[in-house]
Chain A
């Protein structure tokens, strides 16, 4: 057993884990943060995407012990003070989810996309950038619309914050 500590959603979190424990297992089983999902065993589906030190990663593909001291944000950490993140709101507004299983990973990937590519995302870019996330329910049409709206509103929210 190895002791590992991280900052998860702004709070210190630690546990003694087996060296082979994946980040997603640490989150789901040790911290009971079950919003991050596991949809595959080949790093293909993106249901497990979280942010580590500000960048999206597939948490099924990282060992917990390799992330000592890291800052992790999961889907549970997005809404602040009872207010949804603009990307979460966009998924509801545009019916960007059906069963909801892929959704946490989709939202985390979408926010990362905006962080990397800016808030003016055309359909082609969004579709290409979502290549690492599989959804079986929606046919992606409404996910694409959600991401476009979320990106615009992240920019607006960012501008409003800067003006404060």
Chain B
């Protein structure tokens, strides 16, 4: 392994600009003559808009224009879309209510967009916004996930009776019913997967710009997938045809899913830039981010697990109500269905599974993919119910899992997915050893001697990522293909630019992609630069989410490199006066087999462009190749996380003492970056388990709309992590990569809750398990013991 090749922990190239303050985030971009947008948002969760009077606001200093939903509609600009069609079990298509960028006639959640004020400065726009008088007819709001579909609840969209978007199901109901009828033991579980707010540290922002000379628009935006944004803004919303719309996602300060989606604000900024023929800039403040970024999770679930006398799992039955908020965000419909139900087999051999999901509207912010997207929800169901079953049967939680693990591959689950490769027992063995599971009894006793409660919790997660085979997702309702593109441009002096449709917003592609190229072409790492995030430079791409950049994006680069190598061999053959078949390429050198005749990569590049040594009619000059990679399967990262914690029953204060993660991500490009991804994912998972939760009151006011009310994990809330890997290569891509971006957030919540419930000795602990929740749970345990 070379110091900068595949498998090396190369320090990141992109760090230099970030640690010196020279990054270019969207809000750092200023265009000549720009005006600023302020969005007037609804203070009500549900209301009719009877009248908007902007006359006083229009006269306020600096105001350039004020637009409402009617202005956008008059320009024939369409509403925001949801790009994944889900059908209900009766075959009917999902009920999608209209989603105008600026509200028309009705507002449906606190923060919904009522009007945009554009002024010379942001302060002027905001002050003018306060002068707009809106006559609202306030309506009762539906805010509760569990009851919004009940008769009598306020109706969010007329097209969706009982606030129901769809009633979806998957699996074999009859086979599952039969498994339960024959079961020796049934474990039941009711749980809530708490609603989260993603809170990337960089708030969303957009700058729209219009060039009247060419009738072309440019949008700078905080996006994880600028090409998808352009496609949606062009083809569906109708802002401008694709060749007249350039979307640039420069440095992006974290996404976690929330910057996949095409939102109202960027749509309005780019549309308004043409309208007023001036650049229009908007940057969310944190309150706006809380109110209007798509939220995550928010499930209410009942699950049942059937077991035979020997403790083998024979069936799983799940019913989930998934809150999608007030409108269907870009990919929202796929999250509680294909990204959730398909993962319910976990790492286990479960012969029969049946899952029903009712997706519902409420008067709350839209809910869509947030790190893990569906898979954390599935893992929470599976890993909680398996843990409880082990406890009820008096079995060791690790050995109970092992006895039910899938052990031979490929493995067809009853819920579509076919697991291709894995070693679940191997990860468990390694995790048990690293966590010193043997010593847990002594550590529990030591804690008890101090009056503390110690618990240990397992999570043996699996996820499906590397999204995804286009034909497969197409058959499941996706509106787009999920391949990735790459273009490798070799310059005449042998340096290389790689244009990728993947987008980095913290993942370090400028380093990892360059590692691949440097290794494959045998050229210095410094001679490679990675270009991403600009639709004028990169032809097309699907962006970064679902842990897909390595498995799909780098596979596309690899495929383009194959073509480069093949072409370069032809050129080398001409230069070395040998047949192409006799040319070998290794460590950056082309050699004629069995001779010492050789030429290095840079010289071949130069020869390819000079084109003196070959016939330009037979072999095209130049050295540039493009590839599209469409995966043949999902990838299946899996692993075991073990959380060990200590509770002070007097205060509920809980300290995570050890975190052990053993993950199988297949081949690793840069272990340092992979570890960092696990740290960040686990931190978000611990956040969900112990700290974070979005709370709406009955009127639909978001009570957790600032960092003072919504508890983000801080440095002193978290432990250091022990992160190790095992490797079974992924057979469905050339690099053997499975993906690592979401694993931590998927694995962590059940590990934490299993540890807390182990410590307190009962299962009644909901997320977020704050100190107060844990204190109550510990007190309940003490009272119960006293009563016995």
Does B200 lie within 8 Å of A100, measured CB to CB? no
Which of the candidate stretches A39-47, A51-59, A151-159 sits at the interface with the other chain?
A39-47
Known: A79-B20, A100-B251, A142-B679. A130 touches B287 (CB 8 A): no
Which A65-112 residues sit within 8 Å CB-CB of chain B? 74-76, 78-79, 84, 88, 91-93, 95, 97-104, 107
Does A137 lie within 8 Å of B506, measured CB to CB? yes
Chain A residues within 8 Å of B714, by CB: 130-131, 133-134, 140
Q: Does B614 count as interface, using CB distance less than 8 angstroms?
A: no
A95 to B19, CA, bound (A): 11
A138 to B681, CA, bound (A): 8
**Chain A nearest Cβ from B255, distance in angstroms:** 8
Q: Does A36 count as interface, using CB distance less than 8 angstroms?
A: yes
Q: Does B75 count as interface, using CB distance less than 8 angstroms?
A: no
A79 to B22, CA, bound (A): 12
Does A131 lie within 8 Å of B16, measured CB to CB? no
Q: Does A18 count as interface, using CB distance less than 8 angstroms?
A: yes
Q: Does B706 count as interface, using CB distance less than 8 angstroms?
A: yes
A105 to B374, CA, bound (A): 33
Chain B residues within 8 Å of A93, by CB: 11
**Chain B nearest Cβ from A27, distance in angstroms:** 10
B715 contact from A38, A84, A127, Cβ within 8 A: A127
Does B707 lie within 8 Å of A75, measured CB to CB? no
Q: Does B23 count as interface, using CB distance less than 8 angstroms?
A: yes
Does A44 lie within 8 Å of B708, measured CB to CB? yes
Instruction: Find the A residue at minimum CB distance from B709.
Output: A42
A107 to B23, CA, bound (A): 15
Known: A44-B706, A101-B201. A130 touches B254 (CB 8 A): no
A47 to B673, CA, bound (A): 22
**Chain A nearest Cβ from B128, distance in angstroms:** 16
Which of the candidate stretches B100-108, B336-344, B411-419, B716-724 sits at the interface with the other chain?
B716-724
Chain A residues within 8 Å of B18, by CB: 97, 100, 103-104
Q: Does B159 count as interface, using CB distance less than 8 angstroms?
A: no
Does B721 lie within 8 Å of A141, measured CB to CB? yes
Q: Does B683 count as interface, using CB distance less than 8 angstroms?
A: yes
Q: Does B672 count as interface, using CB distance less than 8 angstroms?
A: yes
Q: Does A121 count as interface, using CB distance less than 8 angstroms?
A: no
Q: Does B14 count as interface, using CB distance less than 8 angstroms?
A: yes
Instruction: Find the A residue at minimum CB distance from B686.
Output: A139
A36 to B21, CA, bound (A): 7
Does A42 lie within 8 Å of B15, measured CB to CB? no
Chain A residues within 8 Å of B506, by CB: 98-100, 137
Does B676 lie within 8 Å of A100, measured CB to CB? no
Against A, the Cβ 8 Å flags (1 = close, 0 = not) of B379-403 are 0000000000000000000000000
Does B707 lie within 8 Å of A141, measured CB to CB? no
Instruction: Find the B residue at minimum CB distance from A20.
Output: B123
Chain B residues within 8 Å of A99, by CB: 200-202, 251-254, 505-506
B254 contact from A32, A131, A137, Cβ within 8 A: A137
Which B11-37 residues sit within 8 Å CB-CB of chain A? 11-12, 14-25, 27-28, 30
A40 contact from B123, B286, B672, B673, Cβ within 8 A: B286
Q: Does B78 count as interface, using CB distance less than 8 angstroms?
A: no
Does B19 lie within 8 Å of A107, measured CB to CB? yes
**Chain A nearest Cβ from B118, distance in angstroms:** 18
Known: A44-B707, A130-B715, A136-B201. A123 touches B720 (CB 8 A): yes
Most-contacted residue by chain B among A32, A38, A41, A100 (CB, 10 A) = A100
Chain A residues within 8 Å of B680, by CB: 98, 136-139
Chain A residues within 8 Å of B15, by CB: 91-92, 97, 100
Does A98 lie within 8 Å of B676, measured CB to CB? yes
Known: A33-B21, A41-B287. A139 touches B679 (CB 8 A): yes
Does B25 lie within 8 Å of A37, measured CB to CB? yes
Known: A97-B15, A103-B18. A18 touches B123 (CB 8 A): yes
Does B287 lie within 8 Å of A35, measured CB to CB? no
Does B20 lie within 8 Å of A88, measured CB to CB? yes
Does A76 lie within 8 Å of B707, measured CB to CB? no
A136 contact from B24, B254, B507, B718, Cβ within 8 A: B254
Does A144 lie within 8 Å of B715, measured CB to CB? yes
Most-contacted residue by chain B among A18, A40, A45 (CB, 10 A) = A40
Chain B residues within 8 Å of A88, by CB: 19-20
Chain A residues within 8 Å of B654, by CB: none
**Chain A nearest Cβ from B220, distance in angstroms:** 13
**Chain A nearest Cβ from B670, distance in angstroms:** 9
A95 to B674, CA, bound (A): 11
Does B715 lie within 8 Å of A74, measured CB to CB? no
A78 to B251, CA, bound (A): 21
Instruction: Find the A residue at minimum CB distance from B744.
Output: A139
Chain B residues within 8 Å of A141, by CB: 679, 718, 720-721
Which B478-517 residues sit within 8 Å CB-CB of chain A? 505-508
Q: Does B199 count as interface, using CB distance less than 8 angstroms?
A: yes
A143 to B720, CA, bound (A): 11
Chain A residues within 8 Å of B528, by CB: none
Q: Does B256 count as interface, using CB distance less than 8 angstroms?
A: yes
Does B683 lie within 8 Å of A39, measured CB to CB? no
Does B21 lie within 8 Å of A35, measured CB to CB? yes
Which B645-690 residues sit within 8 Å CB-CB of chain A? 672-673, 675-676, 679-684
Does A92 lie within 8 Å of B16, measured CB to CB? yes
A-B contact pairs, 12 of them (CB 8 A): A20-B123, A32-B30, A34-B27, A36-B21, A39-B286, A41-B706, A45-B707, A95-B675, A99-B252, A104-B19, A140-B715, A141-B720
Beyond contacts A100-B19, A128-B715, A128-B716: 17 other A-B pairs, Cβ-Cβ < 8 A, are A37-B253, A39-B286, A40-B707, A41-B287, A44-B708, A75-B20, A79-B20, A91-B15, A95-B676, A103-B18, A130-B714, A131-B714, A131-B716, A135-B715, A139-B713, A142-B679, A143-B715
Give A contacts to B, CB under 8 Å. Answer: 18, 20, 28, 32-42, 44-45, 47, 74-76, 78-79, 84, 88, 91-93, 95, 97-104, 107, 123, 126-128, 130-131, 133-144
